[in-house]
Amino acid sequence: MYRAICFVLLCFSVAAHAVEALRIGVSGPFSGGSAPMGISMRNGIRLAAAEINGAGGIHGRPLLLIERDDQGRSDKGINIAKELILRQRVIASVGFVNSGVALASQGVYQQAGIPAMTAVATAPKVTQQFAPPKYPLNFVFRVSATDAQQAPLIVREAKRSGLSRLAIFHDQTNYGRLGLQELLKAMSNEGLAPVYVGQFRLGEHDMIPQLREAQSKGAQAILTYAIGPELAQIANTLAQMDWRPPLIGSWTLSMSNFIDDAGPNGDGARMVQTFISDSADPLRQAFVARYLKTFGGRRIPSAVAAAQGYDSLLLLAAALREAGSTDGKAIVLALESLKAPVQGVITTYHKPFSHNNHDAIDLSIPMIGKLQKSEIVHAYANERMQKRR
């Protein structure tokens, strides 16, 4: 099936001699520690592109994806943005996994007047740095739950379990530091303060001193904001210490490199999700089946990233249809006033954007997942039965 998708995209590329393709940039970390998110996002975008092209494209014009690996590096993200705009002549871009890369590179799109649809990056500032009234038109949009949305849900989940003595562990990336700020704010709003805050570098192997300090302070749970490999190191170190406080964190606890590297030590971890593969909803089930049939594997490495990538391109395509133009300003105005609902796999979007709000995900969408025998499942059965809104 993967070959079939590539064949569809290739055929449209060849046909561009007669009908010019709509060139869409796709950038993300397709290698490195964030690759499970980047590859899953890219594959979700590919599925959406194949469906759109299979149905005749946009007003008869196919989508042509121009993919670039930013390796999770801000400097590469900036260079990729310039290359996609100046040399590849993209009319829009979809992608951006790492918040630091998004914040650095999206200024290039804003200056060029090219819409940039963010599918994964969660820093609140991503959609705010070019917001009105300072900027008359904001070219940056997003389809992911922001850190400002996730942090209160993480704290609420701890309180739901009767836990109030909470430690925070975060990495030293922009993602981790911004997540820490949001967790501290969310805890303060609940009248709480962390008993301990631990931070660590990417690739950190020795978590014992900090975890022992958190244990000595009486931590009942560990709230996390980091990427998969280091999260696995936390889980594995806790097992070595024979100390099993719950891990509750941002959506990255669902990454395959946490699940695989932590093994049974990760069981029970809970995280905020916009999409969970064990949903009872038929459309979501069909999406998961289609992904696995196309790209292989036992599970989607990052189901959240795949679903958000898929829905991001569907929303962009809807705006292209309604705008009837490839002009960046026209596409932005169409996104801000979408007339027809867009049926995604996360939800059915009814006017998801406005002039002052470029975030499609609201607090009615995220749910709590948990790791159970190497699979992310719904923590609460009633949420599994919910259909797309």
Q: pLDDT for 135-169, tens place per residue?
A: 999 999 999 999 999 999 999 999 999 999 999 99
What tokens were used for 207? Answer: 């978590």
CATH class for domain 2-145+280-363? alpha beta
Gap between the Cα atoms of 31 and 50, Å rounded: 23
Which residues is 61 bridged to in the sheet? 58
Strands annotated E in the chain? 22-28, 63-69, 92-95, 116-118, 140-142, 166-171, 196-200, 221-225, 247-249, 270-273, 342-343, 348-349, 367-372, 375-378
* Proportion of the chain above pLDDT 70, given as a percent: 94
Within 10 angstroms of residue 11's Cβ, the number of other Cβ atoms is 12
Question: In the predicted model, what is the mean pLDDT of the chain?
Answer: 93
Q: What is the largest CA-CA distance in the chain?
A: 70
* Complete edge-to-edge strand list for the sheet that includes strand 247-249: 196-200, 166-171, 221-225, 247-249, 270-273, 367-372, 375-378
Residue ranges of alpha helices (H) inside 2-59 are 2-15, 35-54
| Residue pLDDT, tens place only, 48-97 | 999 999 999 999 999 999 999 999 999 999 999 999 999 999 999 999 99
Strand 270-273, strand 63-69: pairing: unpaired
* pLDDT band at residue 333 under the 50/70/90 scheme: very high
Task: Report the candidate in 121, 58, 106 with the shortest Cα–Cα distance to residue 316.
Answer: 58
Q: How far, in Å, are 26, 80, 162 from residue 71 at the CA level? A: 13, 11, 40
Average pLDDT of span 228-252: 95
Gap between the Cα atoms of 162 and 251, Å rounded: 21
Region label for 128, one of left (φ > 0), alpha (ψ between -120 and 50) or beta (otherwise) = alpha
Instruction: Note the pLDDT of residue 14.
Output: 44
Instruction: Note the pLDDT of residue 384.
Output: 72
Gap between the Cα atoms of 315 and 156, Å rounded: 31
Instruction: Say which range, 252-256, 328-332, 341-345, has the weakest mean pLDDT.
Output: 252-256
For residues 310 and 302, the answer to whether their CB atoms sit within 8 Å is: no
CATH class for domain 147-273? alpha beta
| Residue pLDDT, tens place only, 261-293 | 999 999 999 999 999 999 999 999 999 999 999
Instruction: Note the pLDDT of residue 127.
Output: 98
Instruction: Note the pLDDT of residue 156.
Output: 97
Per-residue pLDDT for 13 more than 60? no
| Residue pLDDT, tens place only, 90-130 | 999 999 999 999 999 999 999 999 999 999 999 999 999 99
Instruction: Note the pLDDT of residue 227.
Output: 85
Q: How much is the CA Rg of the chain, to the nearest whole Å?
A: 20
Instruction: Note the pLDDT of residue 284.
Output: 95
Angle at 147 between CA 143 and CA 148, to 5 degrees: 105
Residue count (the chain) = 389
| Residue pLDDT, tens place only, 361-370 | 999 999 999 9
Instruction: Note the pLDDT of residue 174.
Output: 84
Q: Could you state, in order of their start, the residue ranges of all structural domains in the chain?
A: 2-145+280-363, 147-273
Instruction: Note the pLDDT of residue 388.
Output: 53
The interaxial angle of helices 174-189 and 99-112, nearest 10 deg, is 100
2-145+280-363 with 147-273: one CATH topology? yes
| Residue pLDDT, tens place only, 209-222 | 999 999 999 999 99
> Residues 6 or more apart from 371 whose CB is under 8 A from it?
253, 254, 259, 266, 267, 268, 269, 270, 271
Gap between the Cα atoms of 67 and 177, Å rounded: 29
